[in-house]
Amino acid sequence: MQRTITHFEEVKFHSVKHGTCPGCGNKTSRKKTFYQTINPYNRTVDGIVKDRRTIVNELAAEAAAWRKLPTWHVRCELAGEENDDEGQDT
Ligand SMILES: [Zn+2]
């Protein structure tokens, strides 16, 4: 049996933020990569397949929202919330 793996192009957006951890009060920085794939099912609310530019704009907006959030250390953040669901990819 042969399985075809279709590889969709991934659009990534790297973001870094610096701040003071609300958990321990020390300065810290966090890195996060936002990404989406270009594929026939990834559409805008208007039903148009998202192109690279649309996706980059969305990722940049996500990153901007993320940078406004407090800059927690990973460890301090995990200590604060036990039910952190990893891999929230849709
Ligand atoms: Zn901390």
Encode 34-48: b = buried (16+ Cβ within 10 Å), e = exposed: bebeeeeebeeeeee
Compute, in angstroms, the gap from residue 74 CA to the centroid of ligand 1.
8
Residue type (1 letter), 69? L
pTM to 2 decimal places? 0.74
Rounded to the nearest whole angstrom, what is the distance from the C-alpha of residue 68 to the centroid of ligand 1? 17
Domain ranges of the chain: 9-80
Residues of the chain with pLDDT under 50: 87-90
Give me ligand 1 centre to Cα 22, in Å. Answer: 7
